Amino acid sequence: MEMEELGIVEQKLPDTRDSGLMYSISAILFVVIGSRLARLGLPTDLYIILSEVLIIALPPILLARIKHLSIVPTFRLKKPRAVEVLLTLMISPVMIIAGACAGFIALIIIKNTFGSLQIDTGVTSVMGGGSVLWSVFLIGVVPAVCEELLFRGLIQRGLERMGAGWSIFLSGLLFGLFHFDFQRFAAQTFIGIISAYLVYRTGSIINGMILHFMNNGLITLLLRSGTSGVQQQNPMPQPTTDPFSSTEFVKLAEQYGMSLSEFLNSMIIPIFIIFIACLIVIFGLLLVVRAVTRNRVEQPGRDEKAARGLLLGIPGIVLVLTVYTAIGLVLLKNPAGAGILRLLGL
């Protein structure tokens, strides 16, 4: 007797080939379509919405439809339980602190390595301009929904053919890389891994969206409380001067009788201690998540040859790493970096 006659509908889920292909498509779209959207001179908020929807959210949905994948289980479109949402909300503020610590340490290391930093102000201008609700919507809601559909949806689901652990790690890593900014790579990868674990354990992408929204939304509110920036109309990243060379940091260094470099390096240890303390708290909360989902988590079907499917992701990885190389060369004031970015249309 066939499964249809028993009233059972077989679910078709993505595999690693779909994940690899999706990552390559998204990376190429980001460079090709994203750069062309930027040249249109659109207002920053419109650029954010169009790029997130057209480049990030729409492609995995279209690929799922083309390959006749089961939409609900592929994207884990399931209502989360109240206890899961509560734990997600509890993890969020601690994760933000840990992410900030990881990012701050990364910035110091990058400054020591390259001698300079370039912080983009395009998104920051949106955080500081317009109404509070509109800023939170643009920076919190839109990326949370669109980026989770891509990374914790189709990509993570397909990677589970390699095992849950690999899918969580690779989903977070690919998410961090996709920000095309190794100055934020550590923090974004950290956030991506935690989100991937929550989505896997709870079986609901909504929890990942909540965590993502809380991170972006709270940071937006914190930045708005400390600045009254005016929204820029140019969506292209606008590098600012090195933030560590600001008057505030220089004065602090002078108060402690240190050079700026010595002062920044002295901050690494206390910040690292705070980071470890946050990790301990997050680990404890994740153990609670594990406990409340023990009998509910869906075990993925593994395929010993699944890793081969990642070959389709090589074009995307190469493109992303090329951009990272160009950014590094720019920080080193090597003209080849700007040349590579121009060649890519960025």
Quick one: average pLDDT of 128-136?
A: 76
| Per-residue model confidence (pLDDT) at position 253 | 81
- Average pLDDT rounded to a whole number, residues 204-223: 90
Q: What is the pTM of this model?
A: 0.86
pLDDT tens profile 277-313: 999 999 999 999 999 999 888 887 777 788 898 999 9
Contact 127, 229 (CB under 8 A): yes
Q: What is the share, in percent, of the chain residues with pLDDT greater than 90?
A: 49
Number of helical H runs and strand E runs in the chain: 16, 0
Q: According to the model, what pLDDT value does residue 195 have?
A: 95
Residue 236 reports pLDDT greater than 50: no
Q: Return d(Cα 192, Cα 133) in angstroms, integer.
A: 25
Look at residue 150 and tell me whether its pLDDT is greater than 70: yes
pLDDT band per the 50, 70, 90 thresholds, residue 41 = confident
Residues 6+ apart with CB under 8 A from 188: 99, 175, 176, 179
Name residue, tokens 């933030």.
243
Inter-residue contact 190 to 126 (CB < 8 Å): no
237 Cβ neighbours under 8 A, 6+ residues apart = 120, 121, 122
For the cut 50, the answer to whether the pLDDT of residue 3 exceeds it is no
> Per residue, what are the HEC states of 188-254?
HHHHHHHHHHHHHHHCCHHHHHHHHHHHHHHHHHHHHHHCCCCCCCCCCCCECCCHHHCHHHHHHHH
With H, G, I as helix, E, B as strand and everything else as coil, classify residue 241: coil
Q: What is the mean pLDDT of the chain?
A: 85
Tell me what pLDDT residue 119 has: 62
